[in-house]
């Protein structure tokens, strides 16, 4: 259990890194809670790179806080390496870097012994591709570096992991590539709000879903889809014959349309929808797995994006061009 009085301090490993950087670069400011290295501007950076990458960085760090909280209360919660490997927001190189760190020295992502309940973005003071996030109620900053990896924006560095490498913009096999013509829509705050609702229900032991919902949706208290979303156990979904919409047989309520179900289940992050192409089938409102389980609601802006960039087969499985 975390202490009620939060005390954060630099890990020994982080202190050593800061000392090393300070020796080689005397003008480097000391005492920051993040590790910064001299970086050249990203080759593909544009004036709005920071605004495009900010939602991804914020989603990542707040989902990481949820992961840490899960590890405190759930015996079978994944370890951080497995969580990083499974995240659609994170480049595999980050997990590899994490695996090489001696965790006795502290958390290499936060570089602190304690952490706040959430973080808010405060801009990109170091480089357009490096988003700074400030802990709510704590004097703790974490920098998250984003780059295009095979056409998709990913977390490629955070805290003291892979932050020394100068960014070179988009990469494919280590070589710079041109940025794609479009990026994914910015995630709605509703995504995190719904996840928080279900997290609160899980902590209360109320596995029928959020108490404020008019449609209670039972979920597995242990399992999580993609390591973050509830796995709904009383929804069996299929496609409406001759249409491109879904219906779901509800364990308590009978049959409901995808429009109704989407109002009460968690909402999927746009990056996760893109990463799961070929594995999920999506209607305008809801995405389902190959075994007919509701994965989550689709954000309206993502559906519009998919109409332009994705091809759907007769079962609503999709493949996208970005």
Write out the H or E segment, with its range, that includes residue 40: none
* In the block, residue with structure tokens 């949820």: 66
Q: Answer for the pair 280, 273: CB distance below 8 angstroms, yes or no.
A: yes
Considering the chain, what percentage of its residues have pLDDT values greater than 70?
75
Residue with the larger pLDDT of the pair 115 and 39: 115
Confidence at residue 145, expressed as pLDDT on a 0 to 100 scale: 93
Given a contact cutoff of 8 angstroms between Cβ atoms, the answer to whether 250 and 256 are in contact is: yes
| The predicted structure's pLDDT at residue 6 | 40
In this structure, the answer to whether residues 16 and 152 fall within a common structural domain is yes
Looking at the predicted structure, is the pLDDT value of residue 43 above 80? no
Indicate the residue among 142, 176, 210 that finishes a domain.
176
Average pLDDT over residues 198-215: 70
Tokens 């594995």 correspond to 279
> Which range marks the domain in which residue 149 is found?
12-21+33-176
* Cβ contact 59:192 at 8 Å: yes
| pLDDT band per the 50, 70, 90 thresholds, residue 220 | confident
Share of the chain above pLDDT 90, in %: 25
Contacts of 279 (CB under 8 A, 6+ apart): 289, 290, 317
Contact 32, 141 (CB under 8 A): yes
Give the tokens for residue 165: 């490498």
Write down the pLDDT at residue 16: 41
Backbone angles phi, psi at 149, to 5 degrees: -120, 115
Domain termination site, one of 108, 143, 176: 176
Phi-psi group of 111: left, alpha or beta (phi > 0 → left; psi -120 to 50 → alpha; rest → beta): left
**Is the pLDDT higher at 4 or at 273?**
273
Please tell me the predicted confidence (pLDDT) of residue 190. 86
pLDDT of residue 15: 38
What is the pLDDT, as a whole number, of residue 213? 53
Of 144, 176, 208, which closes a domain?
Answer: 176
Q: 151: Cβ–Cβ under 8 A, 6 or more apart, which residues? A: 170, 172, 177, 180, 322
Residue 179 has pLDDT above 60, yes or no: no
Same domain for 250 and 152, yes or no, is: no
Which of the two residues, 295 and 32, has the higher pLDDT score? 295
Q: Are residues 163 and 297 in the same domain?
A: no
Q: How far apart are the first and last CA of the chain?
A: 42
157 shares a domain with 69: yes
Q: How far apart are CA 234 and CA 253, in angstroms?
A: 10
What are residue 51's phi and psi, to 5 degrees?
Answer: -65, -30
Please tell me whether residues 283 and 313 are part of one structural domain: yes
Position 168 pLDDT exceeds 70: no
Over residues 2-14, mean pLDDT: 38
Tell me, yes or no, whether 27 lies in a domain. Answer: no
Shared-domain flag, residues 68 and 101 = yes
Q: Which residues contact 300 (CB under 8 A, 6 or more apart)?
A: none
pLDDT value of position 252? 56
Confidence at residue 100, expressed as pLDDT on a 0 to 100 scale: 84
What is the Cα–Cα distance from 246 to 286, expressed in whole angstroms?
8
Q: Which residue has the tokens 């990481």?
A: 64
209 — pLDDT class (breaks 50, 70, 90)? low
pLDDT tens profile 105-139: 788 999 888 899 999 999 999 888 999 999 999 89
Q: Whose CA is closest to 88, among 296, 308, 238?
A: 296
Least confident of 72-86, 159-173, 199-213, 302-316: 159-173
Contact predicate 29/35, CB 8 Å:
no
Residue 178, pLDDT > 80, answer no
| 164: its two tokens | 């020394």
7 located within any domain: no
pLDDT confidence bin for 225, thresholds 50/70/90: confident
Q: What average pLDDT does range 205-217 have in this prediction? A: 63
Instruction: Give domain status of residue 264, yes or no.
Output: yes
Total structural domains within the chain: 2
């Amino acid at each position: 259990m975390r202490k009620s009085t939060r005390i954060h301090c630099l890990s020994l490993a982080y202190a050593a890194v800061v000392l090393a950087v300070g020796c080689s670069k005397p003008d480097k400011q000391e005492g920051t809670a993040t590790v910064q290295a001299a970086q050249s501007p990203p080759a593909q950076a544009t004036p709005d790179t920071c605004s495009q990458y900010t939602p991804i960085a914020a989603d990542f760090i707040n989902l990481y806080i949820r992961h840490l909280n899960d590890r405190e209360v759930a015996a079978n919660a994944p370890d951080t390496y497995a969580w990083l490997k499974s995240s659609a927001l994170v480049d595999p190189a980050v997990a590899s870097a994490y695996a090489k760190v001696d965790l006795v020295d502290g958390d290499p992502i936060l570089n602190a012994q304690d952490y706040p309940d959430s973080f808010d973005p405060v801009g990109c003071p170091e480089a357009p591709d490096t988003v700074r996030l400030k802990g709510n109620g704590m004097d703790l900053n974490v920098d998250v570096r984003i780059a295009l990896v095979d056409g998709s924006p990913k977390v490629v560095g955070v805290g003291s992991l892979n932050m020394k490498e100068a960014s070179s913009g988009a990469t494919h096999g280590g070589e710079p590539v041109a940025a794609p013509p479009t990026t994914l829509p910015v995630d709605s705050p509703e995504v995190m709000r719904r996840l928080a609702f279900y997290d609160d229900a899980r902590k209360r032991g109320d596995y029928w879903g959020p108490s404020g919902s008019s449609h209670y949706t039972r979920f597995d208290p242990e399992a999580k889809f993609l390591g973050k979303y509830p796995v709904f156990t009383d929804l069996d979904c299929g496609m409406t014959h001759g249409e491109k919409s879904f219906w779901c047989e509800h364990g308590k309520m009978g049959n409901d349309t995808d429009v109704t179900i989407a109002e009460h289940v968690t909402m999927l992050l746009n990056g996760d929808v893109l990463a799961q192409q070929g594995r999920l089938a999506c209607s305008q409102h809801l995405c389902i797995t190959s075994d007919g389980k509701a994965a989550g609601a689709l954000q309206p802006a993502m559906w519009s994006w998919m109409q332009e960039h994705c091809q759907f087969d007769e079962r609503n499985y999709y493949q996208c061009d970005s």
